[in-house]
Amino acid sequence: MLKEAIATRFITPLREGGSLPGLVEADDHGTYVIKFTGAGQGRKTLVAEVVAGELARRLGFRVPRLLTLDLDPDLGLGEPDERVQGLLKSSGGTNLGMDFLSGALGFDPLAFPVSREEAGRIVWFDALVNNVDRSWRNPNLLWWQREVWLIDHGATMIWQHNWPGAEKSAARPYDASDHVLKPFAPDLAGAAADLAPRVTEDLLAEVTAEIPDAWLADEPGFESPDALRRTYARPLLARAAVVHERIEGIK
């Protein structure tokens, strides 16, 4: 289960992000990035963060630790910025938290070295979860302690927004032509050989068990949070075996 904490003070919005994540202090005295249930596509974005982030971590990628942050919407009362105030007020309950990598730099492909092997692993993973948010315009990679860290998986698994069409959607190819790591000659075959066999039913059950019930409850067509968890796992299991042959835009 993800660690749980209670947000006690809103520190500042993180202006770079489109969804306006913020920085909060919590009851354990930690400082965390918070991503709000009230933002954009709401809780599904946060489910995607947990599934993709926890899967990536188990496949050996560096991902900031995730946790849940319980938020009292009254924390927004003193906020001068109306957008921030609105977000806080509409995000009462369980939100996503993440360790704040203090001093991290945005990834710059011209400044930081990435091996063929690592580039291949990241592109393969992004293809698996269909991450459309790792372009050179918007890399969502951080450079921290001389290593690459993966963040922002809210725009992955687009099929979760239309379950009846999910199987078809999940069978589609992945266009990597804008991927920020394309210039590093990603070794996709090597990545697939190592990673694909590790994406098993058991691993996906472990990963989807991390999704908080609160973000799965009352999804139309599903009788329980666990039924929905299994539905999240299925396209990933099917895709893992074949996705490296469906990556386009990289030779």
Ligand X SMILES: Nc1ncnc2c1ncn2[C@@H]1O[C@H](COP(=O)(O)OP(=O)(O)O)[C@@H](O)[C@H]1O
The footprint of ligand X (CB under 6 A) covers 14, 16-19, 21, 33, 64, 98-101, 104, 106, 140, 142, 151-152, 154
Residues 17-36 that bind Mg ion (CB under 5 A): 17
CA dihedral 217, 223, 227, 229 (to 10 degrees): -10
Nearer to ligand X, 140 or 208 (CB): 140
- The beta strand positions in 44-180, using DSSP E, are 66-71, 93-99, 105-106, 141-144, 147-150, 174-175
**Contact pattern from residue 86 through residue 115 relative to Mg ion, giving x for each residue in contact according to CB under 5 A and a dash for the rest:** ------------------------------
User: Binding partner of residue 139 among ligand X, Mg ion, none, CB under 5 to 8 Å per kind?
Assistant: none
Which of 37, 140, 156, 231: binder of Mg ion (CB under 5 A)? 140
User: Binding partner of residue 104 among ligand X, Mg ion, none, CB under 5 to 8 Å per kind?
Assistant: ligand X
Nearer to ligand X, 101 or 196 (CB): 101
152 near Mg ion, judged by CB under 5 A: yes
Residue partners of 206: CB distance under 8 A and separation at least 6: 58
Minimal CA–CA distance to 15: which of 64, 66, 81? 81
- Compute the least distance from the CB of residue 171 to ligand X, in Å: 26
Nearer to ligand X, 8 or 31 (CB): 31
Q: How many residues bind Mg ion (CB under 5 A)?
A: 3
Task: Answer whether 142's CB lies under 8 Å from 149's CB.
Answer: yes
Cα distances from 15 to residues 22, 134, 243, in angstroms, run 8, 18, 34
Task: Answer whether 99's CB lies under 8 Å from 64's CB.
Answer: yes
User: Binding partner of residue 106 among Mg ion, ligand X, none, CB under 5 to 8 Å per kind?
Assistant: ligand X
Task: Answer whether 39's CB lies under 8 Å from 90's CB.
Answer: no
Stretch that binds Mg ion, among 109-117, 145-153, 165-173, 204-212 (CB under 5 A): 145-153
Distance CA 118, CA 6 (A): 35
Residue position matching structure tokens 């969804």: 19
Task: Answer whether 179's CB lies under 8 Å from 123's CB.
Answer: yes
Nearer to ligand X, 29 or 251 (CB): 29
- Compute the least distance from the CB of residue 139 to ligand X, in Å: 8
- Compute the least distance from the CB of residue 53 to ligand X, in Å: 10
- For the chain, report the end-to-end CA distance as a whole number of angstroms: 40
- Compute the least distance from the CB of residue 108 to ligand X, in Å: 12
User: Binding partner of residue 33 among ligand X, Mg ion, none, CB under 5 to 8 Å per kind?
Assistant: ligand X
Give contact residues for Mg ion (rule: CB under 5 A).
17, 140, 152
